[in-house]
Amino acid sequence: MELPDRMGVLRVDLSERSVQSERTPEAWRRRYIGGKGLGARYLYDDLSPNVEPLDPENILAFMLGPLSGYLPGEQRYAAITKSPLTGTFLDSYSGGTFPESLTSALGDHVGLLVSGQASDPVVLVVENGTARVEQTDTWGLDAVKTCDAFDGSVACIGPAGEKRVAYATIASDRADHHAGRGGAGAVMGSKQLKAVVARGSPLEPPPALAARRERDETTFAASDTGRWHTTSETVETVDFADRAGILASHGWRNRGFDDAENIGIEAVCERAYEREHDGVIPGGFRLETDVGDTVPRGATAMSLGAGLALSDFDAVVELGERCNRLGMDLISAGNAVAWAIRAAGEDLIDYDIAFHDPDGARTLLESIAARDSPLGDTLADGVETAVDRFGGGEFIPTVKQMTLPAYDPRGAASMALAYATSDRGACHRRARPVEREVFEEQWGVETMVQEIIEAQDDRSVRWSLVADDFAGEVVVAEAWLDAIDVPHDDIETVGERIWNLVRLFNVREGFDREHDCLPNALETGAALSKERFDEMLDAYYEARGWGPNGTPARSTLRRLDLQDTVDDHTPIADSPIETSSRPTFDHTPDDP
Predicted confidence (pLDDT) per residue in 445-473, tens digit: 898 899 999 999 999 999 999 999 888 88
Note the pLDDT of residue 387.
Answer: 97
User: Cβ neighbours of residue 159 under 8 Å, at least 6 residues apart?
Assistant: 140, 142, 326, 327, 369, 370
- Burial of 377 (C-beta count, 10 Å sphere; 0-12/13-18/19+): middle
pLDDT digits (tens, 9 = 90+) for 88-145: 999 999 999 999 999 999 999 999 999 999 999 999 999 999 999 999 999 999 999 9
Note the pLDDT of residue 528.
Answer: 67
* Residue 471, in any domain of the structure: yes
* Residue 205, in any domain of the structure: no
Do 456 and 353 sit in the same domain of this protein? no
Radius of gyration of the chain (CA): 22
Domain boundaries, position 331: 223-403
User: Cβ neighbours of residue 484 under 8 Å, at least 6 residues apart?
Assistant: 1, 2, 3, 66, 67, 209
Percent of the chain with pLDDT over 70: 95
Do 191 and 48 sit in the same domain of this protein? yes
User: What CATH number did the domain enclosing 85 receive?
Assistant: 3.60.9.10
* Residue 192, in any domain of the structure: yes
Note the pLDDT of residue 591.
Answer: 36
pLDDT digits (tens, 9 = 90+) for 31-81: 999 999 999 999 999 999 999 999 999 999 999 999 999 999 999 999 999
Q: Which of 403, 427, 460 represents a domain boundary (last residue)?
A: 403
Do 161 and 232 sit in the same domain of this protein? no
Beta-bridge partners for 444 = 584
Note the pLDDT of residue 4.
Answer: 60
Do 388 and 526 sit in the same domain of this protein? no
CB of 320 closer than 8 Å to CB of 330: yes
User: What CATH number did the domain enclosing 397 receive?
Assistant: 1.10.569.10
Q: Which of 165, 198, 231 represents a domain boundary (last residue)?
A: 198
Confidence of residue 429 (pLDDT cuts 50, 70, 90): confident
* Residue 428, in any domain of the structure: no
* Residue 156, in any domain of the structure: yes
Q: Where are the beta strands (DSSP E) in 14-98?
A: 18-23, 60-63, 77-82, 89-94
Note the pLDDT of residue 409.
Answer: 86
CA distance 465 to 264: 32
Do 228 and 193 sit in the same domain of this protein? no
Torsion angle, alpha carbons of 420, 421, 422, 426, to 10: 0
Confidence of residue 523 (pLDDT cuts 50, 70, 90): low
Do 45 and 182 sit in the same domain of this protein? yes
User: Cβ neighbours of residue 586 under 8 Å, at least 6 residues apart?
Assistant: 441, 442
What is the average pLDDT value for the chain, to the nearest integer?
92
> Does residue 83 have a pLDDT over 70?
yes
* Residue 422, in any domain of the structure: no
Q: Which of 374, 403, 432 represents a domain boundary (last residue)?
A: 403
pLDDT digits (tens, 9 = 90+) for 306-320: 999 999 999 999 999
Note the pLDDT of residue 366.
Answer: 98
Do 460 and 330 sit in the same domain of this protein? no
Q: How many domains does the chain have?
A: 3
DSSP 423: B
Going by their DSSP bridges, the two strands 109-115 and 8-13 should be labelled as parallel
Which residue has better confidence, 294 or 435? 294
> Does residue 581 have a pLDDT over 70?
no
Confidence of residue 585 (pLDDT cuts 50, 70, 90): very low
> Does residue 587 have a pLDDT over 50?
no
pLDDT digits (tens, 9 = 90+) for 301-360: 999 999 999 999 999 999 999 999 999 999 999 999 999 999 999 999 999 999 999 999
Residue 53 backbone dihedrals phi, psi, to 5 degrees = -60, -30
pLDDT digits (tens, 9 = 90+) for 243-284: 888 899 999 999 999 999 999 999 999 999 999 888 888 889
> Does residue 238 have a pLDDT over 80?
yes
Note the pLDDT of residue 236.
Answer: 86
pLDDT digits (tens, 9 = 90+) for 367-379: 999 999 999 999 9
> Does residue 298 have a pLDDT over 70?
yes
User: What CATH number did the domain enclosing 532 receive?
Assistant: 1.10.599.10
Note the pLDDT of residue 436.
Answer: 76
Do 343 and 285 sit in the same domain of this protein? yes
CA distance 99 to 78: 9
pLDDT digits (tens, 9 = 90+) for 161-187: 999 999 999 999 999 999 989 999 999
Do 48 and 130 sit in the same domain of this protein? yes
Do 173 and 59 sit in the same domain of this protein? yes
* Residue 306, in any domain of the structure: yes
Which residue has better confidence, 436 or 574? 574
DSSP 519: -
Element (H, E) at 218: helix 207-222
pLDDT digits (tens, 9 = 90+) for 510-522: 999 999 998 877 7
* Residue 82, in any domain of the structure: yes
Do 450 and 562 sit in the same domain of this protein? yes
Note the pLDDT of residue 5.
Answer: 73
CA distance 338 to 103: 39
Do 255 and 158 sit in the same domain of this protein? no
